[in-house]
Amino acid sequence: MITLTHLATILSAGLVVGLLFGALSAAMTLGIALGAYIVWQGWNLARLLQWVASPRNQTLPIALGRWGIAFDRLSRFAREELQTRQEMQAELGRVRAAVHRMPDSLVVLDRWNQVEWHNRPAEELLGIVGLRRPIQHFVRDPEFSAWLDQGASAALELSLPQHPGRRHVMRMFSSDQTHRLLIAHDVTEQRRLDAMRRDFVANVSHEIRTPLTVISGFVETMLDIEVDQDSRRRFLDSILQQSHTMRRLIEDLLVLAKLEHDMDLAEDGPVKVYQLLSTLVNDATALSDGRHRITLTLEGPAQVRANSMELQTAVRNLLTNAVRYTPEGGEIEVNWSQHGNEGLISVRDSGIGIGAEHLPRLTERFYRVDRSRSRDSGGTGLGLAIVKHSLQRHQASLEISSRLGAGSTFTIRWPASRMIKEATSPPQAQTQENN
């Protein structure tokens, strides 16, 4: 459509041509001007079409008049569109990176259960390689295939052949009418914790039931029949002993719960190791009542950085176990030394020893090698679990070595970061022997 501006431009061009070439007629002059205008418009249109054919590989042309205004507006629109596209690509990249870092496996399936997309954990967990292949090619499990055929409406828990011993939960979600999202989540640790909770409740119930049965049995006997003074005394002693067992069990449970839930050390500071170990060895000697030969050797630094009460609890449990499970006339050696940058507190006894099959589980709650012997000795089955958690809060570890009939050695390996260097030369080694 030719506007008044366009017409004025044509007439002006024709007038100029007419003045330059007076011999030409007015009609011919107007025709030449109109042709020149059409050529100009066609040239600009051709440049625009060329840019539209590949806008990302070339810049907009430069023009005059209204073509220049149009090109400027298109150029501004193209820049805004490019910026928006770059921002969307950056956001999509961040989303993809986050999805690939997720611990769960994500797989997008089409209506035929073929893989259209997956994140990296799906490659490791499900072994997915490539796209446009049925998910059953990677998860070769009859239970999984039946679950898909039945609509996958509920969650499915199974053990994958490529990850034996692990448990995974599969869930399917519909994203639209043609695609579904498969999520695989590892629940092995959760199931282990659930089993531990069930075992814990069962063990606590069992440990409490035994002394309660003894107490209730003696009380019922004393209520139902007349007993002499000696029998009454014996019954009351048994009741008192069982009540002490229940109290120790409750106290150990409270200590263990505090250690498990309070991850931050309280009142962490210098601890005088020599004084602490000497006190604990004296307590162990009193508990032994002369039945064992107990020695203490101090060769390491005089101080470490720790929570005094927790370190004391850990060493006391090791010493108490040594006294309980070492026959009369046996030896118990306590040693504090430094190897490299680490400190070692070792408690060695000449007791009955422990079979190799039991060593990995000794620090589990309520785990006992011999339940009847442990209960007779007054143990609650929580001592070594308390030791383990106390040391973990100090970045320390417990090492156990033992052989049946040859005694046991429990070694606390104290980290270098918690060793306090002596300002002067270290003290001379000291050895204390108690009988």
As a whole number of angstroms, the distance between CA 53 and CA 263 comes to 65
Bridge partners, residue 245, by sequence: none
| pTM, full prediction | 0.54
pLDDT at position 346: 92
Give the pLDDT of residue 190. Answer: 86
Place of tokens 């639209």: 176
The conformation of residue 62, written as its DSSP 8-state character, comes to P
Q: How far apart are CA 345 and CA 398, in angstroms?
A: 10
Give me the pLDDT at residue 425, please: 45
Angle between helices 65-101 and 26-53 in degrees, nearest 10: 10
pLDDT for residue 17: 53
Bridge partners of 301?
none
* One-letter amino acid of 241: Q
Taking each helix axis as running N to C, give the angle between helix 229-261 and helix 383-392, from 0 to 180 degrees, rounded to the nearest 10.
20
- Please report the pLDDT score of residue 3 as a whole number: 47
Name the DSSP class of 403.
-
422-431 exposure pattern, b = at least 16 Cβ within 10 A, e = fewer: eeeeeeeeee
**Which tokens sit at 104?**
């769960």
Q: Which of 5, 19, 18, 13 is CA-nearest to residue 35?
A: 13
Output DSSP code: residue 45: H
Closest CA to 72 of 60, 80, 87, 89: 60
Do residues 215 and 239 make contact, with C-beta atoms less than 8 angstroms apart? Answer: yes
Q: Do the Cβ atoms of 14 and 29 come closer than 8 Å?
A: yes
Q: Whole-angstrom distance between the N-terminal and C-terminal Cα of the chain? A: 119
- Do the strands 156-158 and 342-349 form a parallel or antiparallel pair, or are they unpaired? unpaired
Please say whether the beta carbons of 306 and 379 come within 8 A. Answer: no
pLDDT tens digits for the chain (435 residues)? 444 445 455 555 555 555 555 545 656 666 666 776 677 677 777 777 776 666 666 666 776 667 777 777 777 777 777 788 888 888 888 878 888 888 888 899 988 989 988 888 888 888 888 888 888 888 888 898 899 888 888 899 988 877 888 888 999 998 777 889 999 998 888 888 787 778 777 777 777 787 888 888 888 888 888 878 888 888 888 888 888 878 878 887 887 777 777 655 556 788 898 999 999 999 888 888 888 899 999 988 888 888 888 888 889 989 988 888 888 888 999 999 988 888 999 999 988 888 888 888 888 777 777 655 545 555 667 888 888 888 888 889 899 998 888 889 999 999 988 888 775 444 555 566 666
> What are phi and psi for residue 296, nearest 5 degrees?
-130, 125
- Cβ of 157: how many Cβ atoms within 10 Å? 12
Task: Give the start-end residues of each E strand in 291-341.
Answer: 293-298, 303-306, 331-339
Question: Cα 431 to the chain's mean position, in Å?
Answer: 44
Phi, psi of 229 (to 5 degrees): -65, -40
| Residues 357 and 304: beta-carbon distance below 8 Å | no
Alpha-carbon distance of 413 to 395, in angstroms, equals: 9
Is there a contact between 147 and 180 (Cβ–Cβ < 8 Å)?
no
Instruction: Tell me if 274 sits within 8 A of 302, measured CB to CB.
Output: yes
Cα–Cα–Cα angle for 108, 110, 114, rounded to 5 degrees: 85
